[in-house]
Structure 1
Amino acid sequence: MNKNVCLIDLSQKDFKDTWDLQTKTLQSIVDSKIKNRREELNIPTSNYFLFVEHPHVYTLGKSGDMKHLLLNEKQLKEKEISFYKINRGGDITYHGPGQIVGYPILDLENFFTDIHKYLRLLEEVIIKVIGEYGLKGERSNGETGVWLDVGTPFARKICAMGIRTSRWVTMHGFALNVNTNLGYFDHIIPCGINDKSVTSMEVELGTKLNVDEVKEKILFHFKELFEVNEFIKKASL
C-alpha cells in the first residue's frame, strides 16, 4: 500500500478547470487499478491532495434541488458568479476567495475501504484544526460537515463537505470558511438546509487569519488521522 500523498497547491484556479483536473487524475488512478487486476500486477497507485481557492462559484450536487439557488441566470452573470451542476454528493454550496478548499484524490485501498470512516475522518481533521483556534467544531446528525453550536438555535456550518468515489478512489472534498465573504451564501439555501446559518473562522474569532497557517494545520492533522507516510510537494499534476 502506498501511503505517500502528492501535495499540490493550485492557489487560485477556476472551478471547472479544477473539476476537470480532478476527474482526469481520478480516472488515471482507476485505470491503473484496472490494469493491475487485469494483468495481475502489483504497481502502487498514487494519492493526491489539492489545495485551491476558487473564484465565486455555486455548485449543486447530484442530489441537490435547483430551488436552493435563489438567483436566476441574469443575476448570476451580473454578480459574476459561476454555477455548475456536479457529480459529488450533497446539495448546493458556495466557493470563493478566503475559503480553503481541499480535494483529496486518494485510493482508499491504500488506507481503508470505508466511505463512512473517510467522511468522519475528514470532519475530524477540520474539528481538530479549528479547535487549535479555540472553536468547538461538531458533527450534526445526518448533515455532513463541521458545525458550531449543534442542537441550539444558533447552529451554523463552518465547513461543507461533499465527495464522489469510483473504485474506492475519491474526489471533491471539503470547503472551510476562513476569511470568506459570507454574503454570497445569502443567494442560496446552503446544503439545502434553511434553518441553520453559515459562519467563518474570521467571523467567529473577530480577526482575519493567515490562510497558509491554517493549511499547515490541516495537513498536520490529515497526516496524523489518515496515517500518511509523507506529503510530497509538487508544483503541478
Structure 2
Amino acid sequence: MYSKSLGLLKFWSNDQMVDMKTRRSYQDWPIVGSKMTYDGEKVWSENWRVGNPPAHQHSVFYYYLNLPWLTQDDNVILGDAQKIQHKVFENEVYKVDMSFRESPVVGKSQKDTYTLYIDSESYLLVGYEYTIGYGPLLDILNLPKDQEVFGPVLRVINYTGEVEGLKFPILFTTYNIDGTEEYGDHVIYDIKFNEPFDESRMEMPPNAVIDPGKDIRK
C-alpha cells in the first residue's frame, strides 16, 4: 500500500463492520489511524492516510468476501457456466462471467467485472478474475485517460474457512492474469455475526471529509 504521507507500507490492516441488511459500514485502520463510514448514501473519512479513495475502499473486501451471495443482487448479470480446465486450479472449474447493469454501490462502477471460478467437485468459489472501473481509483493509479478499467487480475482462494455454517475465503493471493507474478497475499480474520452495529458511527463528526464518490475521471 502506498500513502503520500506514509510512503510504502508492506501490509495494511483494518477492522470493518457491515450491516448486512442495509450494507452500511464503518472501518477503523489501526496502523495508520484512519476511520471511514458509509451511511448508505455517502462516504466520509477521518484522517484518511490510505492510498485508495474512501468511497471505493469501503466496499472492496466486502465484495471479495461475499461474491457467491452478491451474484444474486438485482443489478447483476451472470453468464452461462462453462466447465474448463484452468492451469492454476487442480480440478476442473466452472467459469461464470459476472457484470452489472448499473453501479452496484457508491465507489464501485458499472464497468466492474468478475470472472468466477467454481470448483467442479466442491462447488466452492476457488478464485476469480476482476476488473475495476471506478474512475477516481484509475486516476490515483495514473492509468491512461482512455483506459476504462484496471485489470484484469487473478485472485486465487488458498483456504476457505467456515463460520457458523457459512464458508468464506480466509486466505487468498492476487496474481497477474497468467498466475505467473504474485502481487500480494490477503487474510480475512475474526469473522463474526450478530455483533452490535454502532449507530453513532452513522453521525458525521465535524472533522470528517466527504468523498464525492462519483465514478468520473478527472
> What TM-score, normalized by structure 1, do the two folds share?
0.24
| Structure with higher helix content | 1
| Structure with higher strand content | 2
> What TM-score, normalized by structure 2, do the two folds share?
0.26
Flag the structure with more relative contact order, 1 or 2, with Cα contacts below 8 A and sequence separation at least 6: 1
